[in-house]
A and B are shown apart, each in its own frame.
Chain A
Amino acid sequence: MAAPGVPAEPSPWLVIRPPRRWAPFNLRELWQFRDLLVRFARRDLTLRYRQTALGVLWVVLQPLLTAGAFAFVFGSVAGLSSQGVPYFAFAFAGMLAWNAFSGVLTRMSAVLVGNSALVSKIFFPRLVLPLSTVGSVLVDFVVSMLMMAVIWPLAGVAPGWSLVTLPLWLAAVLLLASGFGLLAAALMVPYRDVQYVLPVATQLLLFISPVGYALANVPHSARFLYELNPLTGLLEGFRWAVIGTARPDLFPALWGIGCAIACFVVGSFVFAHMERKFADVI
């Protein structure tokens, strides 16, 4: 056996010790692996646009079709009001926010199980994988936003100065989705049934959130319950920014932003706590 370490050792580059029970992320390490984050995001984008025949068109078509269906069902059949904006533009703006939310949630939750060979064989900060999924969702968002710019003149809508608040709402939606996404990704490693529950829960959330209709159409008795849903304030804020509908009330907006931050913090702590077992159980 080799002799124990000599005194006056140079300081090691890295010391590996048993982890503490609850520890936050090592941000320095995450920064060192920033190139990997970009590579993973580019891989996702390349694969998606290379493998589908419709490519970019599909990214635009999906919200267009859904917004069309919402405009028909809620606007024409149910005759709901869309706050003075053509129903199609109203529903499309809702779909922009919703697709950012569900895109992050869906891709993030599946990313660890989908890359299990990497997780079990190679070290890198595990957080890189879920975070990389945000990149391709953002690209989709930009493409859809360009479509929105085409819809503005067609629908006779012009966003006002409130458009400058768009990054705030987008960031809050992405934080909220990432919080749930990290939680779901970590839970899916030991419990594969999460992948069956999640699509059902997401679809349910789509209908109980004011995506295809305005909060103003919700009966007053249910309004409080509605506003507990953090997405409600964020969606109202998002539409205020994009198509200039009524400004959201302060409480639901702040509640939505607060929930998004809290959700992200909880999700990332749970992820950091569970990540050390990923390689052993995946």
Chain B
Amino acid sequence: MSSSDLAISVRGLSKAYTIRHQAEHHITLAEQLLDRARHPFSRQERETFWAVQDVSFDVPKGEVLGVIGRNGAGKSTLLKLLSRITPPTKGEIRLYGRIGSLLEVGTGFHPELTGRENVYLNGAILGMRTKEIDRRFDEIVAFAGVERFLDTPVKRFSSGMYVRLAFAVAAHLDTEILLVDEVLSVGDSEFQKRCLAKMGSLGDEGRAVIYVSHQLDSVAALCTRALRISDGHLVQDGPPEELISSYLATLGSGPADLGTRTRTGSGHWRLSKVESLSAETRVGEPVRIAIEAESETLQALTVWPSIHVRDSVTGVLLAHCDGRLVGAGVDGVDHRSGAWLFELRSPWLKPGDYLVDVVLCSNEILDYLDAACTVRVLPYAVHHAIRTLEPNHGPTVSDFSMVAADSSSGVAAPRSNTSAI
């Protein structure tokens, strides 16, 4: 690429966080001083955690770059570094133009202020000058479709109107570089379509966009190139389709890597094994997952496992199977471990790849494994029609029967057909 086409250049970028290992965390100055006075010579045990490590890449103008990776891989930290919310520990970022970020829609909106006041305030927060907002005010309001409510405090807005107005302000930022983080998960589908179209057009205008999302289909549709991040490292850089398929291949690689996974939850109980017994299965076969969990101590809580099956491409949740519905809890008062066998019989999954999230909870989340394992449904079925399922036929196949009343019609056996849930 010619150097004048460059929008962002990142070299050896690293960000370290210090994690303190101590029984209680100090949140007050008094506590900290008291502790220092009590143990004047003890050094706090610290561990350095590299959220982003030695990442280098270039983004030319006009490129819409997708960033994919698991939760905790370092995507959000990368965006925070690019947007200057937090400074790097090592390395360098060169920006060839103003940068704007759309990290969370509506941050900076004040419920008591009117729509008009919020447009100006939010524009200023995002770095726009008052003159710029004046010039684009009508466009912003028209994009959001809230003309009639401009002088109403936004606390009286519906959540849809609120989100539309917030996105509209950010989308009219005239910066050469725009950072977008998972904003399209909000709003109705019609508005999402408009937002996607708007983002695509930004690239055509010669602006560089960095887009972070879990919705792999939108990355595939929008981005001209993608980066894959894993454990803070840039592991792949190339065409989005290629990256998405290799990303999917790395997901749910079995029980071996549970220890190294970044996970959320209180940790009072931890999943120790998640195994897909349906790593490869067929339409109509039950999906089976084996899970095991353990705790170091006996605790006064009941552990409920919960399994969520998601489409790997769209991220859409297809089945939310909460152990509480079937009474699958294990009493932590007299058990330090538990094992469950999960079986999903309905709806049937269409041929394709699925991600399985496993959650342990009591009255709080104990452990949450995002994409703990995968299920692949092979493109083979009882009838040739099921191999060629279009997305508009719905995300799953229902378990149903249909018997021809006239047995002489030639098809006697029950037939599956496609339908949306």
- Which residues of chain A are within 8 angstroms of B17 by Cβ–Cβ distance? 280
- A1, B85: Cβ atoms closer than 8 Å: no
Residue B201 CB within 8 A of the other chain: no
Q: How many chain A residues touch B (Cβ–Cβ < 8 Å)?
A: 46
- A2, B87: Cβ atoms closer than 8 Å: no
Instruction: From A155-163, A188-196, A240-248, give the one contacting chain B.
Output: A188-196
Residue A219 CB within 8 A of the other chain: no
Contact with A along B259-274 (1 / 0, CB 8 A): 0000000000000000
Residue A84 CB within 8 A of the other chain: no
Contact with B along A7-40 (1 / 0, CB 8 A): 1111011111111000000000000110110111
CB distance from B200 to the nearest CB of A (A): 22
Residue B297 CB within 8 A of the other chain: no
- Which residues of chain A are within 8 angstroms of B1 by Cβ–Cβ distance? 3, 6
Cβ contact of A18, chosen from B2, B56, B88, cutoff 8 A: B88
Using a CB-CB cutoff of 8 Å, which residues 1-55 of chain B contact chain A?
A: 1-4, 6, 9, 11, 17, 27-32
- A33, B58: Cβ atoms closer than 8 Å: no
- Which residues of chain B are within 8 angstroms of A16 by Cβ–Cβ distance? 81-82, 84, 87-88, 92-95
- B101, A2: Cβ atoms closer than 8 Å: no
- A193, B29: Cβ atoms closer than 8 Å: yes
- A1, B113: Cβ atoms closer than 8 Å: no
Q: How many chain B residues touch A (Cβ–Cβ < 8 Å)?
A: 57
- Which residues of chain A are within 8 angstroms of B237 by Cβ–Cβ distance? 1-2
Residue B90 CB within 8 A of the other chain: yes
- A39, B57: Cβ atoms closer than 8 Å: no
- Which residues of chain B are within 8 angstroms of A192 by Cβ–Cβ distance? 27-28
Residue of A nearest to B106 (CB): A117
Alpha-carbon distance A279/B76, docked complex (angstroms) = 13
Residue of A nearest to B96 (CB): A12
Cβ contact of B112, chosen from A12, A40, A50, A194, cutoff 8 A: A50
- B95, A12: Cβ atoms closer than 8 Å: yes
- B108, A122: Cβ atoms closer than 8 Å: yes
Residue of B nearest to A196 (CB): B28
- Which residues of chain A are within 8 angstroms of B91 by Cβ–Cβ distance? 17-18
Residue B124 CB within 8 A of the other chain: yes
Given the known inter-chain contacts A1-B57, A6-B3, A16-B88, please indicate yes or no for A118 contacting B125, CB distance below 8 A: yes
- B97, A13: Cβ atoms closer than 8 Å: yes
Using a CB-CB cutoff of 8 Å, which residues 76-121 of chain B contact chain A?
A: 80-99, 101, 103-104, 107-108, 110, 112-113, 117, 120-121
Alpha-carbon distance A2/B129, docked complex (angstroms) = 34
- A36, B125: Cβ atoms closer than 8 Å: yes
Residue A47 CB within 8 A of the other chain: yes
Residue B126 CB within 8 A of the other chain: yes
Residue B169 CB within 8 A of the other chain: no
- A280, B28: Cβ atoms closer than 8 Å: no
Alpha-carbon distance A179/B129, docked complex (angstroms) = 28
Given the known inter-chain contacts A123-B83, A193-B29, please indicate yes or no for A2 contacting B107, CB distance below 8 A: no
Interface pairs A-B: 9 shortest CB-CB:
A191-B29, A193-B28, A12-B94, A16-B93, A2-B58, A39-B124, A36-B124, A6-B3, A123-B84
